[in-house]
Structure 1
């Protein structure tokens, strides 16, 4: 609390206090003490807790007295369990500042600080490889706001200079608002990775048919045509891929430590999952469907399947099964890509209606290419019999199920 003493004195009639202030402020009689308490906003403590859960460190740089600032810090959970108070921040040298900021698990109150102190703290944290977000509202805060990676200015009480120097402006002047874009940024980053996993996973089942054809020296006919690949890449996979960008956040998103600034969006684990796991499972299923149709028609390796041969229609049906099988595996991949670590039940199957609409579109589009005669002639497809349709229908749960098992095993190793 900031304490004010209230005192009074009776003046003779006709006395002008404004011209005799020094004389008037004598012989006063104490009436009492008034404590002015400016409490932290109720939501700040919860916001600080979420920052800590997300691996963020919160320091206070203030011109207030150290005891006052420390009391406020403890009230909102800053510095729990380790709080270090620098009572006279202007007197601290660079070596001592570096030593303090290197302490793990310690949050610091820089009291009796000047605007230059904010700048020194921002520079020191940047030198240590930290991503720095700095808040401020005054003209003197502008250099520190500009130097930080993310300058955060107060929209209501802040000056125009502070707002111009900042990256983000809080229109409600509320610290808790800072946590929301942190969560949104992590969700967007995750969704970009999900989009990439979904797109990359289809490369393997598209490439494997050509590899099989090449390695067999033509003994195995080409399982997929170029136009069918274009129909997949430009038609069926577009809407589900875009819908993954609107996926809700996974549970535990704000419990992860911050990712290193040097970390790439695409890493080895993503490639292993998309090309090596989802892609290989899809490729195996797709090729199984292709060979099932051919062998059912009596085909043997090396038998001719060109136009005019007895097996030509079976070959068209087999390539159609390959095309439809990749689309079916896309459905399973889209469901699997919705989560990177958590189980699907943790986010709910129906929580992304845009993805469900995208899947419905690709299924309708595929059915049109398979069963509409004008499109059959254009894309080299043939109507699929019921048993092939039923075989392809089990591909989505197989693709999603195998990835669900992989994520379950991963959670067992790394809870």
Structure 2
């Protein structure tokens, strides 16, 4: 929908679309428009085929290098090496393929939300047609319970309200009208004369002229944004890609150096090729993709126990990198259930109403007085009025409490239940009955009902806007007695009394102002005793001379645990930004209450202000904005992109269709599992099973721990690779043209996958560091090797490679066989890694961490040592790996000497505090 139909009058809309409100479109015209505009359906982009997804997995540089190594091994007769490498490739490709194959669903969910049938006027008659056959210009009948099948300009509204929460983020149904709007720069939530595809009619009836179908609707626009929104790589994926490319460069560089040295010494090409294979295998941690996936899967399992379901494993670590959480308000920070928060009676007393959502559990807590609500005649009478003058129905099914109808009216019924008044009992056995209803309309701004009470007397129960009720009032009920009040002048919308009731008017006005400052939706209640003659009069006459009983302040309150969760984010250096379709005042009040707005420097920016900003201005103000209010899906997308441009790692929460493009674009999209639409869930990376913001904070903690453990694993794995490469390089540099390889490719594979891989995998369950949630979050461009980790990997790897070469060189000089010497080098490198695993657990030194706090690691080290000894001492191991059994003295010497690189370097770091050691 490109034209601003909400600014057009009904007559101009009819004229511009060439239709008729009495006859609709003719059959001939419908055919023309169907050819012009196509079907009223959302277009679905074709996803990748299975073969395309499978081929995509081989673009990983690690997989590419391993593939070359497997091929070379096969053609040079190293069949066991080729098979082993091939199995590793298959495992990595299958895991990655399966994770990606499970995506590609978002558009299907959008299509499922569309209405299947619609009632339109064609050739002067109302007909039911499939929604896909609707065309612009059709006159659409709108009734309670309908899902709108297209975007329409409302031309007739009879108490019509539509729930647009999934599209706009509004927590309340929107009352619709047919009048044209003058402001051409308002957002969807303020377009009171428009109806949008996929939204639901909650009450009333009406007519609308179709102004947009299919991809030309607002939801179609969102679908188009989803299709064209590029899904960003997570920070971990970017880091892993960088590691893979770096390893590829290193591997090729090392191979090139060895080839040059080999050619210089005149070595045969076959020996140079075998050495190149060994170095390629040594330089690449073959188990890295698999182990990363396993570590993330374990983290995913822990997250599910905390009510966070990760759809993509890479998203788990991303949470730990998050620097800003862009959170939707309704249903995430708030309960998505309207609730009476404060009550005021005409005697000037306030109560705070406790409880959660639509649950009847709660109480009226007196504020600055000691009167129980049940002892206030005006409060109890007011709750009777609020319950009876009400079109909503309270439903309790076991422990589950819900409201059918308008949520604001439902909040009044629940408040009454907290004071002991049950709607169903009052109307069935309580002696009350409804004689006649006069529903709310925008002209009167009130609703009223004639009630017959248990004494057979009649009274008018009235509920409405506080200023309107006061204008129609003739008195206040104070301590059970009616105090007369006659307005003598008007100031603004409120009447001012010049009689003994003036103090009550001032108090009443102060209560209205107090509730408004807290962003509470305020409703006033009153009553009027009726005679038999009154029953025959028009309701507009009856709604005069009302006695005011009190006020109720209503809102969708914050979740009780959100304040602590926002504070935890703040302490961890993670900003929380509210992005909502709701009004700025309401959003700002809640943001202050829960700690998102903490100072005067925290800005509140509206959608209309965003429209006046270019992207550069938005990026500039983003670090200072705490609340974005009254925003559209395009705004949400721009905000996320601006955060990312500022090098922030942005998490975006949402539950509606309007959130889908931003969820898809964000570094991590967090969808609501209970109230979230299918579109939001399919667009997100993480689903909150309890719709609770505090669950995100738990997930951030898990993500940080996982990142720490992945760094520990990568440190361990790459240190092993540096050791394997360096032992071969040392041999080439120091042994001359008669060089013999200290390690075979199969030995290197064993170290990478078993002797080093198993214990390194146990690092994935290492307990969290004490300062985990006190550190500042990592920036998007921060490397895995920050804080001198890369230097430590190289230094320790060279030390381990040096020890392994010394063992090999000593055995060769001692006249022992080449196989025995290789076994010595193999055992030395295995035990060096097993000692080093305990140092990898800490970012300080191993002397600062209790080795017994990770029992899984102890078990993995014991298992790895046992299996590696099996390679050395069993017949099968000796046959496959060409090893020889070491003597007892040699084994003990190797075991003790292998500890030196770790103990010496850790001791040096502990004493000198040098970080890079």
Asked if these proteins are the same fold (TM beyond 0.5), I'd say: yes
Determine the C-alpha separation between the residues in 1 that align with 2:908 and 2:596: 39
- Which residue in the other structure is 1:398 paired with? 900
Q: CA deviation at 1:145?
A: 3.9
- Moved beyond 6 Å, runs of 4+: 409-414
For residues 6-405 of structure 1, the aligned pairs below 5 Å read 6-13=525-532, 20-36=538-554, 39-64=557-582, 66-81=584-599, 83-86=601-604, 89-95=607-613, 99=617, 102-103=620-621, 106-113=624-631, 117-215=635-733, 216-217=735-736, 223-225=742-744, 228-263=747-782, 265=784, 269-274=788-793, 276-290=794-808, 299=814, 311-312=815-816, 317-339=820-842, 341-344=843-846, 348-372=850-874, 375-376=877-878, 379-395=881-897, 397-402=899-904, 404-405=906-907
Q: CA deviation at 1:277?
A: 1.5
Gaps of 5+ in 1: 300-310
Q: CA deviation at 1:116?
A: 5.6
Per-residue deviation, residues 55-95 of structure 1 (Å, max 9, x unmatched):
32212234555454334323322233455343754345443
CA contact (8 A) 1:155 1:170 kept: yes
Determine the C-alpha separation between the residues in 2 that align with 1:231 and 1:60: 51
Determine the C-alpha separation between the residues in 2 that align with 1:205 and 1:127: 39
Structure 1 length as normaliser, TM-score? Answer: 0.77
Per-residue deviation, residues 276-311 of structure 1 (Å, max 9, x unmatched):
22211212333344455567xxx4xxxxxxxxxxx3
**Aligned-pair Cα RMSD in Å:** 3.9
Q: Does 204-213 or 328-337 show the bigger shift?
A: 204-213
Per-residue deviation, residues 151-203 of structure 1 (Å, max 9, x unmatched):
33333233344434444332211111122333333333443333332222223
Other structure's SS at 2:715 match: helix
CA 358–218 in structure 1, closer or farther in 2 if over 3 Å, else same: farther
Q: CA deviation at 1:9?
A: 1.7
Determine the C-alpha separation between the residues in 1 that align with 2:751 and 2:553: 71
Q: CA deviation at 1:326?
A: 0.7
CA contact (8 A) 2:578 2:628 kept: yes
Determine the C-alpha separation between the residues in 2 that align with 1:283 and 1:118: 52
Structure 2 length as normaliser, TM-score? Answer: 0.38
Determine the C-alpha separation between the residues in 2 that align with 1:266 and 1:361: 29
CA 158–365 in structure 1, closer or farther in 2 if over 3 Å, else same: closer
- Which residue in the other structure is 2:66 paired with? none
Determine the C-alpha separation between the residues in 2 that align with 1:97 and 1:221: 62
CA 291–195 in structure 1, closer or farther in 2 if over 3 Å, else same: same
CA contact (8 A) 2:525 2:550 kept: yes
Determine the C-alpha separation between the residues in 2 that align with 1:164 and 1:376: 52
Determine the C-alpha separation between the residues in 2 that align with 1:22 and 1:140: 41
Higher strand share: 2
- Which residue in the other structure is 1:305 paired with? none
CA contact (8 A) 1:294 1:318 kept: yes
Q: CA deviation at 1:266?
A: 6.3
Other structure's SS at 2:552 match: strand
Determine the C-alpha separation between the residues in 2 that align with 1:379 and 1:139: 58
Determine the C-alpha separation between the residues in 1 that align with 2:534 and 2:718: 87
CA contact (8 A) 1:212 1:220 kept: no
Per-residue deviation, residues 183-242 of structure 1 (Å, max 9, x unmatched):
333333443333332222223433344334433226776544555445434542332233
Higher helix share: 1
Q: CA deviation at 1:323?
A: 1.7
Other structure's SS at 1:33 match: strand
CA 178–21 in structure 1, closer or farther in 2 if over 3 Å, else same: farther
